[in-house]
Structure 1
C-alpha cells in the first residue's frame, strides 16, 4: 500500500433515464475518519452504503462528500379537474346573466388555476433501484480518483520527509563530530572554570572540586541523545519503506525527535553544538507539520 496524504479532491458525473447527478469529494487532514455527507431528498436510503464504501477506501481524514441530482422534466398526463370546472362554470354563468356579459370562453376557463392538473409519472421501484446503483457506481469512481490524488500527494510528501530525516541525521552527526565533545576540549573547559574559581582566593576542596568536575562533564554529555536520534532516524526510514497508514506512528516518532533535540540543546556546553541543536528543532518542527498530512 502506497503512502497517502489526507488531502485530495475528486468528482464524477453520471446520468440515467434523463436524470443526471454529480459527486464531489474533498478530504483534508484529521486525527481519525470524519465523514460528512450531503445527499438530496429521496436518496437518504443509500446513506449507509455511501458511508461503508468511503470507510473501506479511506482510514483517516476529514471527508466531505456531496451529491447533487437533477431530475428529468416529465411530460406526465393532463387531467381536467371536473369538479372545479363545474363550480367555476356555474359562477361564470350566473354572473353573465346578472350583468349581461358573455359566457366565458373554453380556453379562458382551462387557463384558470386548478382546472387542469398535470400528473407526473412516478418512477417505478426498478427505475429507482437502477438509478441508485448507478449513483453508487459513480461514487466508487470518484473514490478511486480521490485515493489516487491522495497517493500522488503522498509521494510528494514522502520525498519531503526523506529529505528532512536526512537533515536530522546530518545535524546529529555534526554534533557527534564536534571537537567540543572531545576529552581534551572538556578538560580544557573545566580547567578554565577551575582557574577562574581559584582566582577568587577562596579555599576549595580538591576532592570535591574533582567530583563536581566529573558531574558537570557527565551532565554535558549528549552521547545518549545522539544514539536515540540515530535510532529514531532508522525507525522513520523503516516506516517510509513500509508505507501504508503510518501517519500516527510518524507523529509519535516526531515527538520523540523533538524530545531528544530539546535535551541535547539544553545540555549544549558549546556554541557549535547549541546552534546545531536549534537547527535540529527547526527541522523537526517542519517534519511534524508534514506528518500531520499523512494518513
Structure 2
C-alpha cells in the first residue's frame, strides 16, 4: 500500500566532458487521479514522453511534479585550451587585424572563454536523464510505501475506535425498549385510574407490550451495527492485503457514513446520538486520510 504524497531528489555529479550537473526532483501530493506536470530545461524537452511513460507505468494516483535542473559547472572543470585551439584563435586574430588594424588584442579572459566554447562538444543528456529519473522514481516509491504504512496504522486505529463505539451502542437498545415498556404501563395505569375504564390489567399489559414492540422495531440498530462491522472488517482486510486501495476504500467509507447516519436518525437517547456523532467524526478522519492512498 502506498501514499500518494512523497518526494525524491537525486542528482548526478558534475561531468568533466559536459561541464554540467544534472538533477531530478519528483514530488507527489494527494489527488484522486494521476496528474503529471514536467518542469524541464528547453534542451531536455524531448525527453518528456519517455519520462511520462516511465511514471505512468508505476503510478496510478497523485498530482506528480517532475523538476529537472541542468547547471553548468565551469570553474571546477576549467581546462587549458588545446594547442590546436590556440593556433586557430591566433590565426583568426591575425586575419581580423589585417582588416581592422585598430581592433584590440585578445585578452587572456577572451582566449579562455572562446577556447572553452571551441572545445566544448554538445552533450546529449537524454539517456542520463531517464536513468536518473528511474532512480528518483524508485526513491519516490519507497517514500510512498513508508507513508502508506504510517497511514495504514492510523486507519486501523480509527476502525478500532469505531468498533468500540458500536459495542457501546448494542446493549443500549434493549435497555431503551425495557424503559419504554415500563413507561407505557405507567401511562396506562394512570389513565385507568383517572377515568372510568374497566379495562382489565391484562389488556393494559398487552397494549404496553405491543407499543414496546413497535418502539423496539423503530429504534432497532442491530442491522446497522452488523453492516458497519462488516464494512470495518473489509477495510481491515484491505489494509492488511495492501495494493491499490484508494477507490475501494472510498466506497466503503460512503457505506460507513450511511450506517452512522441511519443510527443517528433512529436514536432514541442522547447517548446514542453522541455515539452517532463520534462515529461520523472518525469516519470523516478516515475519509480524509484515504484520499492520500493510491
Same fold per TM (> 0.5)?
A: yes
Residue pair 1:27, 1:63 contacting (<8 A) in 2 also = yes
Q: Given the superposition, is the C-alpha separation of residues 254 and 53 from structure 1 closer, same or farther in structure 2, using an over 3 Å criterion?
A: same
Deviations 1:131-190 (A, max 9, x none): 322221111111111111111111111111011111111111111122655642342354
Does residue 258 in structure 1 map to residue 257 in structure 2?
yes
> 2:227 corresponds to which residue?
228
> 1:13 corresponds to which residue?
11
> 1:97 corresponds to which residue?
none
Q: TM-score, normalised by structure 1?
A: 0.78
CA–CA distance in structure 1, aligned partners of residues 27 and 192 of structure 2: 70
Does residue 140 in structure 1 map to residue 134 in structure 2?
yes
Does residue 58 in structure 1 map to residue 56 in structure 2?
no
CA–CA distance in structure 2, aligned partners of residues 146 and 261 of structure 1: 37
Could you tell me how far 1:229 is from its partner in structure 2?
0.5
Q: Given the superposition, is the C-alpha separation of residues 186 and 230 from structure 1 closer, same or farther in structure 2, using an over 3 Å criterion?
A: farther
1:156-171 counterparts in 2 under 5 A? 156-171=150-165
Q: Given the superposition, is the C-alpha separation of residues 159 and 7 from structure 1 closer, same or farther in structure 2, using an over 3 Å criterion?
A: same
Deviations 1:110-143 (A, max 9, x none): 47xx9x993534636xx52xx3222211111111
Residue pair 2:173, 2:219 contacting (<8 A) in 1 also = no
Q: TM-score, normalised by structure 2?
A: 0.78
SS at the partner of 1:13?
Answer: coil
Deviations 1:182-226 (A, max 9, x none): 64234235446767888998x9xx999987765443221112211
Q: Given the superposition, is the C-alpha separation of residues 172 and 263 from structure 1 closer, same or farther in structure 2, using an over 3 Å criterion?
A: same
Residue pair 1:14, 1:135 contacting (<8 A) in 2 also = no
CA–CA distance in structure 1, aligned partners of residues 270 and 158 of structure 2: 23
> Any unmatched runs of 5+ in structure 1?
90-103
CA–CA distance in structure 2, aligned partners of residues 179 and 153 of structure 1: 41
Could you tell me how far 1:61 is from its partner in structure 2?
0.6
Does residue 187 in structure 1 map to residue 181 in structure 2?
yes
CA–CA distance in structure 2, aligned partners of residues 42 and 196 of structure 1: 93
Residue pair 1:222, 1:267 contacting (<8 A) in 2 also = yes
Q: Given the superposition, is the C-alpha separation of residues 149 and 267 from structure 1 closer, same or farther in structure 2, using an over 3 Å criterion?
A: same
> 1:36 corresponds to which residue?
37
Deviates more, 1:138-147 or 1:188-197: 188-197
Tell me how many residue pairs correspond in the alignment.
Answer: 268
What is the Cα-based RMSD across aligned positions, in Å?
3.4
Q: Given the superposition, is the C-alpha separation of residues 180 and 196 from structure 1 closer, same or farther in structure 2, using an over 3 Å criterion?
A: farther
Could you tell me how far 1:85 is from its partner in structure 2?
4.5
Q: Given the superposition, is the C-alpha separation of residues 37 and 193 from structure 1 closer, same or farther in structure 2, using an over 3 Å criterion?
A: farther
Task: Report which of the two has the higher share of strand.
Answer: 1
Q: Given the superposition, is the C-alpha separation of residues 41 and 215 from structure 1 closer, same or farther in structure 2, using an over 3 Å criterion?
A: same
CA–CA distance in structure 2, aligned partners of residues 232 and 178 of structure 1: 22
Q: Given the superposition, is the C-alpha separation of residues 196 and 250 from structure 1 closer, same or farther in structure 2, using an over 3 Å criterion?
A: farther
Residue pair 1:268, 1:274 contacting (<8 A) in 2 also = yes
Residue pair 1:180, 1:186 contacting (<8 A) in 2 also = no
> 2:246 corresponds to which residue?
247
Q: Given the superposition, is the C-alpha separation of residues 208 and 187 from structure 1 closer, same or farther in structure 2, using an over 3 Å criterion?
A: closer
SS at the partner of 1:59?
Answer: coil
